[in-house]
Structure 1
């Protein structure tokens, strides 16, 4: 998709719909483009962001590191790597470390893993030499001990006054790839809702962020503390629906808030697991069965008898991809 044309398309859509519809974004690149065009779009759409500078800082790993340090939240030590001279900083870190891109980059994603666990400064240097011609902006961060199920997150919608309109805490169960990948399955974590809700709301309010956001934490098995991993800002999170199936529909709460309607309180219910079926199966094959699956209801990310369209679309996409791979290439 050509994101640079997104503001123009949103203007056309808003004019067709009328009534200043509420805008929800799902991609980080779209957040950057829409944030820059906010003055043009605000008369036609209901949208809420922090300042553009804050949005840029919160979508870059080094910007997050500096903001979190400045506001006193616990975060592992890290260093930014942009050129060969920066590599000397690697010696000051505690290993193992995670090496990852400073920001989302299509060229990086096409060739490299989401993140790499490195055991020594030498390993990090080798990877920097391989990656820097594609993306010379990496961050090395000290590893937080614990498995995938030590990763927690707090999803929030922050209103104009800096307070959370809605908040939900969850916990990963499995990730793909394990240890460094995206969410494959997760569940509500009401036992930490108050603690993580206060930490996240306080941070977002302090840095001037408003709108749809989330913060990921990891509980270190060595000291039991929560450490910041990374935020998501200006858009819904991949596992956002886990809140909805657990009685807390954040997008609807945001819609009601922006339209001046009453925001309904969350519905108390037993914790339910949200699962992306393919990646969760892959992760289970590597890591084995998680006990939570025997104790709680599981909801598929796509299949619902009352709304089969998402599942049908996913299945069609997979069939199309297989047909495309099987199609013989034309001879030159």
Structure 2
């Protein structure tokens, strides 16, 4: 890796998954020098023509810190890059070492790290909702698999189970009955502790989100959107831009008084009675669907870069238009959209890899998908056989 040559400090993006690739493209498109840090050279994002790529053995655990120290040691003296992370585990590791990292990097939320870290734990969300008067589904915390039936007994089915720790073996599991839940006992046991929570009725299309960029608790930028499809549950597959003052106000209320800085968001679900229920916040990073924001006028990584450097940032206004599709998670997503919401095909579509000015990640992702088809078919047949 060669040091970025620019009068502006580079942005260091950790991770070149589809999310990290979106950040790199947005930053590079704004003329910002970028260094990307990745551990997996097989990812399609590592084929990007944007930025400079540095590889490390570990970017998701404690090895992240020495990997970042190594990057800092190879930059010109006095250069402090703007650091951007792409998953909760990175946020957790960096948050614990925020003081150390701040010597060599600019981290937008470094000063609020002690208030960021508790929000990574799903077990803390209920108390936060109670403190600010937001609706949160009835929940119980499961700490030992042997207590599963006793813990879930007071709840009404269907329920969902969500590990409290970032990047656990699964994100969300749904159980329509106690029998379903007990069948999943072994899977739950590997990701303790787990929040067992009543499921709010409604389709994926009732899931809204409000993204904010904060500076000492003040809103610098905002964006609201809505999901059309989540496959598997909890993972956004298709989303649209949808300005919504009520969603924005609820997001602001959730974070009010914490004096946070940096990118945050709040995901909510509208129940059959019209009330919004908190699903979960995201803190310390942008969301996987940040490309939706950029495609519709609000490039959050660019805003974060300028705000972290205390530089004047252009004014960005949200617009309706482009649909965001995660074809990597669900290859048939475009067909689903054409069948269920063909009206959205009239607008622009932002995929996680396809980009005419940066085509190699798309070709590489397509090759990976083709190679995976036989195994996907075998797994599908296996599921069908096991259900008969």
TM over 0.5: yes
Shift in alpha-carbon separation, 1:142–1:136, aligned structure 2, 3 A: same
Offset at residue 322 of structure 1 (A): 7.8
Shift in alpha-carbon separation, 1:53–1:258, aligned structure 2, 3 A: closer
- Alignment-derived partner of residue 10 in structure 1: 68
Offset at residue 182 of structure 1 (A): 0.7
Q: Work out the CA distance in 1 between the residues paired with 2:240 and 2:203.
A: 15
| Other structure's SS at 1:173 match | strand
Shift in alpha-carbon separation, 1:314–1:281, aligned structure 2, 3 A: closer
| Other structure's SS at 1:223 match | coil
Shift in alpha-carbon separation, 1:43–1:320, aligned structure 2, 3 A: farther
Shift in alpha-carbon separation, 1:224–1:311, aligned structure 2, 3 A: same
Q: Which runs of 5+ in 2 are unaligned?
A: 1-38, 40-57, 377-388
Q: Work out the CA distance in 2 between the residues paired with 1:310 and 1:248.
A: 23
Offset at residue 314 of structure 1 (A): 2.5
- Alignment-derived partner of residue 301 in structure 1: 352
Offset at residue 132 of structure 1 (A): 4.3
| Kept after mapping to 2: 8 A contact 1:183/1:239 | yes
Q: How does 1:165-184 map to 2 (within 5 A)?
A: 165-177=220-232, 180-184=233-237
Moved over 6 A (4+): 284-287, 319-325
Q: Work out the CA distance in 1 between the residues paired with 2:121 and 2:131.
A: 15
TM-score, scaled relative to structure 2? 0.73
Count of equivalent residues: 313
Q: Work out the CA distance in 2 between the residues paired with 1:68 and 1:164.
A: 20
Offset at residue 267 of structure 1 (A): 3.9
- Alignment-derived partner of residue 207 in structure 1: 258
- Alignment-derived partner of residue 146 in structure 1: 202
Offset at residue 17 of structure 1 (A): 3.2
Across the aligned residues of Structure 1 and Structure 2, the Cα RMSD in angstroms comes to 2.7
Q: Work out the CA distance in 2 between the residues paired with 1:286 and 1:33.
A: 37
Superposed CA deviations along residues 245-287 of structure 1, whole A, max 9, x for unmatched, are 0011111111111112212222454421011224444357679
Offset at residue 320 of structure 1 (A): 7.3
TM-score, scaled relative to structure 1? 0.84
Superposed CA deviations along residues 70-123 of structure 1, whole A, max 9, x for unmatched, are 2211111111111234642322222211122222345x24xxxx3222223343
Q: Does 1:266 align with 2:321?
A: no
| Other structure's SS at 1:248 match | coil
- Alignment-derived partner of residue 233 in structure 1: 283
- Alignment-derived partner of residue 330 in structure 1: none
| Other structure's SS at 2:63 match | helix
Q: Which runs of 5+ in 1 are unaligned?
A: 326-332
| Other structure's SS at 1:7 match | helix
Offset at residue 306 of structure 1 (A): 1.9
Q: Work out the CA distance in 2 between the residues paired with 1:133 and 1:215.
A: 28
Offset at residue 308 of structure 1 (A): 1.8
| Kept after mapping to 2: 8 A contact 1:165/1:254 | no
Q: Work out the CA distance in 2 between the residues paired with 1:261 and 1:16.
A: 25
| Other structure's SS at 2:255 match | helix
